[in-house]
Amino acid sequence: MFNLFRNFKTSTEILQLSALQVQWEMIPDSPYQGGVFFLTIHFPTDYPFKPPKVAFTTRIYHPNINSNGSICLDILRSQWSPALTISKVLLSICSLLCDPNPDDPLVPEIARIYKTDKQKYNELAREWTRKYAM
């Protein structure tokens, strides 16, 4: 177990040579606080020239993460660079969790709630965290 980010814990377990499983104990002072979220990272054979495939395996209420765990993040697609490290990818995902991008959602309904009723969004995110991540 190692601390990748200052305010929450991560641990990794190598599942096979081409994949990594990440466990996050989520960000304090967020609707995800107290939740433990799992992600998988699959490395293509031409990594680092192609981005890794990163997905949440724990359900999470977020406009940029759908029910399959897919993450809408530009550096995992069009803005990928071989200079990016997995630590930078995880930091970008953490930033996305703290600051969603409702203008480029994977789940438009959650984005609408985020834009129009942030209190309701936070309540629903906390409810999902209790239901799926605790």
DSSP letter assigned to residue 27: P
Catalytic residue among 65, 72, 90, 133: 72
DSSP letter assigned to residue 55: E
Q: Is 79 helix (H, G, I), strand (E, B) or coil?
A: coil
53 with 44: CB under 8 angstroms? Answer: yes
CA atoms within 13 A on the CB side of 125: 27
Whether residue 94 lies in the annotated active site: no
CA 61 from centroid of its chain's CA atoms: 11
Residue 83 token pair:
């200079």
Catalytic residues: 72
